[in-house]
Structure 1
Amino acid sequence: MRHIDGLDGLRSLVGERIGESAWVTIDQAAINTFADLSYDHNWVHTDPERAASSPFGSTIAHGGHSLAIIGGLLQQIFRVDRTRLILAYGFEKVRFPEAVPSGSKLRLVVDLAELREPTADAVDAVWRCVVEGDGFARPACAADMLMRYYGEA
């Protein structure tokens, strides 16, 4: 895990690749759990027999599932030290270019795309997040995650 030294550390990293997470497997059990949590039981996600005849040839993960793993995988990649509060407050430019068949391996690649300074004691980081699939031609998900970091008191 990379440790970033507070707000000044963030300022020094704009435009850089921060790192990659470990690979995680999105199996049918995980897809079913996400379906339960999101109340989305569309057959293309939860019915392997029916989904076998779909254009994907199997069940696929929800797009929102690919988006939802970003927050947890970010925590594997880096930590911003010397902050008193960190708030995740949204996503911009979310896309799902590639379907994620059950059993796929995914990982997160993250760059610090931009830093905004809304107040004297805080910065807003725009994390360029790409969820890659092992063997995929395109990303499973691409999104800019917005996080606000408040410096030490």
Structure 2
Amino acid sequence: MTTTVSSIAELTALTGQHLGYSEWREVTQEQINTFADATDDHQWIHVDAERAAAGPFGTTIAHGFLTLSLLVPMWSEILHFEGVRLGINYGLNKVRFPSPVPVGSRIRAGAALVSVETVADGSFQIVVDFVIERDGAEKPCCIAEGLYRFYV
């Protein structure tokens, strides 16, 4: 379910709260191969199903940065800020990949709002703690602290 806000005051009131989860999405071999082509990272653990079957995970796994990049569509399912002229991804403070994402896995993101602050250029910067989890896994597959700026 998407959290919708229409003002900085509404957003600020959510500080310290969990904002919700994205929908589950399957990570396919086609996505992994396309990401490998886009980034020129063709390590066998990602793209060689036969070799990966004998590897440590028994199958191919998604690139960590592919998993991280899927935050873009997942984040858009979690928070909708009405009336914003522009929202930008400002970066990340920290990222970790505690467990792999085997091909065919279902993942989703959860997000908690850490802070909201005014920036000198008149925008508002938010810090969000993300946890990307894999269906059925004990550990998350990615944790990240994201920064976003909103221009209202």
Distance 2:39 2:74 in 1: 20
Paired residues, number = 151
**Aligned in 2, Cα 1:51/1:100: closer, same or farther, shift over 3 Å?**
same
Residue equivalent to 1:17: 18
Q: How far has the Cα of 1:80 moved from its partner?
A: 0.8
Percent identity of equivalent pairs: 38
Gaps of 5+ in 2: none
Residue equivalent to 2:130: 129
SS in 2 for 1:58: coil
Gaps of 5+ in 1: none
Q: How far has the Cα of 1:120 moved from its partner?
A: 7.4
Distance 2:8 2:121 in 1: 11
Pairwise CA RMSD of aligned residues? 1.2
Distance 2:121 2:17 in 1: 23
Residue equivalent to 2:58: 57
8 Å Cα contact 2:6-2:81 kept in structure 1: yes
Q: How far has the Cα of 1:123 moved from its partner?
A: 1.4
Distance 1:123 1:5 in 2: 13
Distance 1:120 1:25 in 2: 39
SS in 1 for 2:127: strand
TM-score norm. by structure 2 comes to 0.94
TM-score norm. by structure 1 comes to 0.94
AA matched with 1:61: A
8 Å Cα contact 2:12-2:115 kept in structure 1: no
AA matched with 2:91: G
